Amino acid sequence: MVNAAEFPLVALSAFWISLLQTSVLPDCYTLQLPICFIVSLGCYGLLIVGIGLMRFPACPPEAILLQEASQGFLKGKGLDVSSD
């Protein structure tokens, strides 16, 4: 029995094998379908990451804490990072 998580993979594999056997599309196109699927999935992933970065909420208190911690670290190393 096919698990719910495996169903899309099984369905796509069955569709691809049926295209190979029925010759609906030329073989050169049918053999490239998995590559196109992987490239499309990668583009979708990059799109989702890009949208997530654009909508990332601003965190001013955490930014101030991070800036103070980095200034303290750099002062400990002998660098002057004052904003005068």
Give pLDDT tens digits for 14-41: 887 787 777 776 767 767 777 888 898 8
User: pLDDT tens across 5-19, in order?
Assistant: 667 778 878 887 787
Mean pLDDT for all residues in the chain: 79
Q: In the chain, what percentage of residues exceed pLDDT 90?
A: 7
pLDDT for position 46: 92
CA distance 30 to 8: 18
pLDDT tens column, 51-62: 887 877 777 787
Amino acid 81: pLDDT: 73
